[in-house]
């Protein structure tokens, strides 16, 4: 068992919450100019990934709070030959529903908890149609372990994806930690992109 894997549910929950609080505080403290420059560097590195070059349909979560700013990347995807897909929260089913976004400015508005989401009338997209998933998260480690926000939405979505769909995540360097506490069933992200490096955790 990896030292970051905790068997007791209460201990795991406590460890995850403590890390979530610490990393979010560090991310929130980033100056605006550093966040802007870092976001631009993350997007540029993502666009250089072989998985991005090979993709036709890209799932991207638009930024909320102090997350890296994926809006410019979303606009470039929408304006290219690729299809941009953005998730929308189904509060009843507690699942993410995927929609194609042709024009981010027109098709996206504030949704669940203020997170940018596509309009309900945007075309539905099956999870199996996605080639590349850009997974959001609070913290990551070099082994690809991911700490989310605690709602479990992406944990429930990822098993619905094709086995060959590529997974990657963008994050500031401040979000990379020594070891993310995980359960045995938690899904890893094999590629993590920061402003300064691309971590191959495959």
Strands (E) in 37-137, as ranges, are 57-60, 83-90, 95-100, 108-110, 116-118, 132-134
86 with 118: CB under 8 angstroms?
yes
Say yes or no to pLDDT of 113 above 70. Answer: yes
- Using only the alpha carbons of the chain, give its radius of gyration: 16
Name the band, by pLDDT with cuts 50, 70 and 90, for residue 126.
very high
Angle at the Cα of 115 (from 190 to 125), degrees rounded to 5?
Answer: 65
* Domain regions of the chain by residue span: 9-200
- The pLDDT value given to residue 177: 97
- The pLDDT value given to residue 179: 95
Q: H-helix or E-strand containing 40?
A: helix 32-47
Convert the pLDDT of each residue in 56-65 to its tens digit: 999 999 999 9
Pair of tokens at residue 77: 């995807």
Following DSSP, what letter does each residue of 149-169 receive, concatenated? Answer: -SS-HHHHHGGGS-TT-EEEE
- 45 Cβ contact partners less than 8 Å away, ≥ 6 residues apart: 193, 194, 195, 198
* Average of per-residue pLDDT across 165-194: 94
Which DSSP state fits 12?
A: H
Q: Report pTM.
A: 0.92
Convert the pLDDT of each residue in 86-104 to its tens digit: 999 998 899 999 999 999 9
Least Cα distance to 105 among 65, 62, 68, 67 occurs for: 62
> Which of 26-30, 53-57, 104-108 is the least confident region?
104-108
SS3 helix, strand, coil % of the chain, rounded to 5?
A: 35, 25, 45
% of the chain beyond a pLDDT of 90: 81
* Average of per-residue pLDDT across 31-40: 97
- The pLDDT value given to residue 202: 83
- Per CATH, which fold does 9-200 belong to? Rossmann fold (3.40.50)
Sign of CA dihedral 126, 131, 137, 139: positive
Name the band, by pLDDT with cuts 50, 70 and 90, for residue 199.
very high
């Amino acid at each position: 068992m990896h030292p970051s894997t905790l068997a007791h549910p209460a201990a795991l929950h406590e460890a995850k919450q403590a890390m979530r609080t610490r990393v979010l505080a560090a991310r929130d403290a980033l100056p605006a100019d550093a966040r802007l420059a870092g976001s631009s560097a993350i997007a540029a590195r993502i666009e250089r990934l072989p998985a991005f070059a090979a993709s036709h349909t890209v799932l991207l979560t638009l930024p909320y709070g102090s997350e890296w700013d994926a809006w410019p990347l979303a606009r470039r995807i929408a304006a290219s030959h690729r299809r941009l897909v953005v998730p929308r929260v189904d509060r009843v089913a507690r699942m993410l529903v995927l929609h194609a976004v042709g024009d981010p400015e027109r098709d996206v508005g504030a949704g669940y908890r203020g997170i940018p989401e596509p309009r309900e009338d945007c075309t539905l997209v099956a999870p199996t149609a996605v080639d590349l998933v850009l997974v959001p998260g609070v913290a990551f480690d070099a082994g690809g372990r991911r700490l989310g926000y605690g709602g479990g939405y992406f944990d429930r979505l990822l098993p619905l994806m094709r086995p060959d769909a590529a997974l990657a995540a963008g994050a500031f360097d401040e979000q990379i930690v020594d070891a993310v506490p995980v359960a045995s069933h938690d899904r890893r992200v094999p590629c993590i992109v920061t402003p300064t490096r691309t971590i191959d955790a495959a």
